[in-house]
Structure 1
Amino acid sequence: MQPRIPRPTVIAAIIVAMTALSLAGLLVPALWYEAVERSEAGRALLAAACAGGVLALHGRLLWLNLMRRTAPAHRWALAAITAVCWALPAVLGVAHGWGNALIVPAGLFAVVLPLRESMIVTPVAAVAAPLYGLALGLPVPSALYTAAAIPLYTFSGYVTVWFFHVVQELSEARAELARSAVGEERLRFARDLHDVLGHSLQAIALRAEVAERYLDRDPGRVRKELTEVQAMARDAVGDVREVVRGYRRTSLRTELDGMSAVLRAAGIACATPDVAGDLPAHVHEPLGWVAREAATNVLRHSAATRCEIMVRDAAGRIELEIVNDGAGRRGDEAGSGLAGLAERLAAVGGALAAGPAGGGTFRVVAAVPRGEP
């Protein structure tokens, strides 16, 4: 089971709490000494106030930088933390753990300051803090520990904030990809629905017009056309259901048979082309969509009297060419569905070309590689 990722504010709060706990581990022994063993109220109150103020301000600066709410005043806050931490060993002595206070500001060097500045401040502090501690009487091992701990705390603070921001950006990118996938699916569904219904409704309308023309002259022909309308309507409903499910598969032979039958019913001479039986499976769907869209455009955007359909297998590509006349009489617009078809073909390594071919004809050529993309 994949764990649920908390919100960024929750993660930031956990980071601040863990950092405060680790820093408290540096100061608690000294506070315990002042409050319990030394038992001087004034020193204990001063130590508690300074330590509490440092931890609170440290956590506040870390939180604001995690939330990307940086400000120039943060430099002054870091300077105040550094001044208090360096003053505590001088006022209360370096014994019993107050020398650890010299390490506390290091975790914010690379968080508050720009990276280039922090790369200068960190080595300076790593040298100055041990020397300052030795001058106050800090033991040599403790001074060496301070010299090593300051770069480590600086690096730890930088990596913590960097990782938090990376995780947050990845989460946002994941959400954006999800939104993009939803948008792509909506576009795909709209394109499929246009291709399916555009062709089917045009064919139904054509059959209905034919039935209306023969209404008074040939009742038998009317019944035949109405039967075809019913069948086409049922097929359209089935196609829409399959598009919704995302499982629709198109056969090029079936689409070309349907295309030629619809065009002939409209009085357009159109012969059904021969289609090889060994065409690869991935070729049928994109070229089938081309056949559907071409039939719709011939009916809607031309006054065609003939339409030629050719399927060729040459140079490792399967080509479908559709040429119709009558394009000049109603304009040579190709229909908005061809843009979607070009995207479909490009997705499988194919190409689409459509435009006037001279002499009032309009030509559509679609090509798909024979090999699997």
Structure 2
Amino acid sequence: MAARPETARKVLLYWMDGMIALAALMFVGGAWGLIAKDQISVPHAVAGAGCAVAFCAVFPFMLRDAYQERPTPVAKLIVSGLLTAVTLALLPYGAGLDQPFLAWDLVGPLWLSAAVLFLPWQATVAFGVLEIAAVIPYTRGITWMPWAASLALQVGSAILIPVSMWLWLWLWRTIKEAHDSQEAKASLAVSEERLRFARDLHDLLGHSLSVIALKSELAAKLATKDAGRAAAEMASVRHLAGESLTEVRAAVEGYQMLDLEAELAGVRAALEAAGARCTIEASAADLSPAARALLAWVVREGATNVLKHSTATRIAIRIDGGVLEMRNDGLAGPVSGQGSGLRGLSERIAGAGGSLSAAPTDGGEFLLRAAVPA
């Protein structure tokens, strides 16, 4: 799903890698242009462009540290800061040049954009002021742009690029927190259901098993003294055990009887939270409770498979009478067969006189279809 944090992280990082690679090409191209116009020596240009490219090579590693929430990469920040300073010193922006050196003014703001991911904002602001102060002597020497406009460009870059980088990181962390929140809610729901089931079993069996234990102990003591009374106690034990077994079976059957409307609402919420659009058309008012429960199990299993194994962005659920069709557009590659969940569900539905199928359609979708006796 598009909302999964790992997918969002890869998209953001690859996009920024592409921007950094483009900046590196601009550095090399700018240095070559200065060499071609005899405005800078070849060793000078190679040294400056080499430092700029080395900075671009370190930058993606700092980004990945930030997106992995690792400790602050002090060494990488220091190395990239030194490379930035050397680049600014070796590759002049103005001062006697009749054309600008492309992308020169990106080095400082790019380093600030990495620093803002790890350092307190006060430190980042201080470094930003130092960076702007360092380039003012160069901006005074330019000939192709008014000094005030050049300074405004430097200040704007020193603000906008770091803020944009911080916003990208904030966006990814927001997506990750939302995803973690959904997982935590699902885990909490499972834990609460387990506690409720354990509590119900304790209420059902606790008293009965205690009485059975006492009566069995009494019967054992009476076996050599009063065989008739011991037999009566054991008959009582057998009766209590039968009642307890009936109560447990009723409780388990009650847990297995899912509510179709509640399941549809829960599935819609889960799929939409995962970034997919879910549409539901259900007409099942005339179905028997058993048929509604079977279809609810199909809805749950189908949604689980979509979340686990699919990249679907659109899911359509349609129930007409005793027939359920669940379509999604997340089919990618050949389908190897039904999993254990669908296999068990198919056997269960077949035992009730229905049928279940799961297969790709001619339109490139995946269709899960179940038909149960109404």
Cα deviation code 1:128-161 (max 9, x no counterpart) = 5355323355623444322211100121122223
Please name the residue that 2:92 is paired with: 90
- Give the direction of change, closer, same or farther, for the CA distance of 1:139–1:202 in structure 2 (3 Å limit): same
Please name the residue that 2:314 is paired with: none
Measure the CA separation in 2 of the matches of 1:52 and 1:131: 24
Match of 2:116 among 105, 110, 119: 110
Please name the residue that 1:54 is paired with: 55
Residue type of the alignment partner of 2:52: A
Please name the residue that 1:295 is paired with: none
Residue type of the alignment partner of 2:105: N
Match of 1:194 among 190, 199, 202: 202
Measure the CA separation in 2 of the matches of 1:136 and 1:243: 81
Match of 1:155 among 158, 163, 177: 163
Correspondences of 1:185-334 after superposition (within 5 Å): 185-202=193-210, 216=228, 228-229=239-240, 232-242=243-253, 244-245=255-256
Measure the CA separation in 1 of the matches of 2:139 and 2:132: 11
Measure the CA separation in 2 of the matches of 1:164 and 1:32: 33
Measure the CA separation in 2 of the matches of 1:115 and 1:72: 16
- Give the direction of change, closer, same or farther, for the CA distance of 1:81–1:36 in structure 2 (3 Å limit): closer
SS in 1 for 2:117: helix
CA contact (8 A) 1:133 1:143 kept: yes
Residue type of the alignment partner of 1:17: Y
CA contact (8 A) 1:16 1:62 kept: yes
Q: Indicate the structure whose relative CO is greater, using CA pairs within 8 Å and at least 6 residues apart.
A: 2
Residue type of the alignment partner of 2:153: Y
Query: Normalising by structure 2, what TM-score?
Result: 0.51
SS in 2 for 1:95: coil
Q: CA deviation at 1:45?
A: 3.9
What is the Cα-based RMSD across aligned positions, in Å?
4.1
Correspondences of 1:339-350 after superposition (within 5 Å): none
Cα deviation code 1:287-330 (max 9, x no counterpart) = xxxxxxxxxxxxxxxxxxxxxxxxxxxxxxxxxxxxxxxxxxxx
Residue type of the alignment partner of 1:156: S
Measure the CA separation in 2 of the matches of 1:217 and 1:158: 82
- Give the direction of change, closer, same or farther, for the CA distance of 1:3–1:165 in structure 2 (3 Å limit): closer
Q: CA deviation at 1:114?
A: 1.6
Residue type of the alignment partner of 1:15: L
Please name the residue that 1:66 is paired with: 67
Measure the CA separation in 1 of the matches of 2:214 and 2:186: 42
Which region of structure 1 is more displaced relative to structure 2, 142-151 or 187-196? Answer: 142-151
SS in 2 for 1:181: helix
Measure the CA separation in 2 of the matches of 1:49 and 1:223: 92
Measure the CA separation in 1 of the matches of 2:24 and 2:241: 85
Measure the CA separation in 1 of the matches of 2:177 and 2:209: 47
- Give the direction of change, closer, same or farther, for the CA distance of 1:173–1:226 in structure 2 (3 Å limit): closer
Q: Is residue 192 of structure 2 the alignment partner of residue 184 of structure 1?
A: yes
CA contact (8 A) 1:130 1:144 kept: no
Q: CA deviation at 1:194?
A: 1.0
Measure the CA separation in 2 of the matches of 1:57 and 1:218: 85
Which protein has the larger Cα radius of gyration, Structure 1 or Structure 2? 1
- Give the direction of change, closer, same or farther, for the CA distance of 1:143–1:193 in structure 2 (3 Å limit): same
Q: CA deviation at 1:89?
A: 3.1
Match of 1:125 among 127, 131, 134: 131
Q: CA deviation at 1:37?
A: 8.6
- Give the direction of change, closer, same or farther, for the CA distance of 1:147–1:70 in structure 2 (3 Å limit): same
Q: CA deviation at 1:49?
A: 1.9
Measure the CA separation in 2 of the matches of 1:129 and 1:91: 8
CA contact (8 A) 2:13 2:64 kept: yes
Unaligned runs of 5+ in 1: 248-373
Q: Is residue 16 of structure 2 the alignment partner of residue 19 of structure 1?
A: yes
Please name the residue that 1:348 is paired with: none
Measure the CA separation in 2 of the matches of 1:33 and 1:91: 11
Match of 1:146 among 147, 154, 159: 154
- Give the direction of change, closer, same or farther, for the CA distance of 1:230–1:112 in structure 2 (3 Å limit): closer
Unaligned runs of 5+ in 2: 259-374
CA contact (8 A) 2:93 2:100 kept: no
Q: CA deviation at 1:165?
A: 3.5
CA contact (8 A) 1:196 1:239 kept: no
Query: Normalising by structure 1, what TM-score?
Result: 0.51
- Give the direction of change, closer, same or farther, for the CA distance of 1:207–1:45 in structure 2 (3 Å limit): same
CA contact (8 A) 1:26 1:97 kept: no
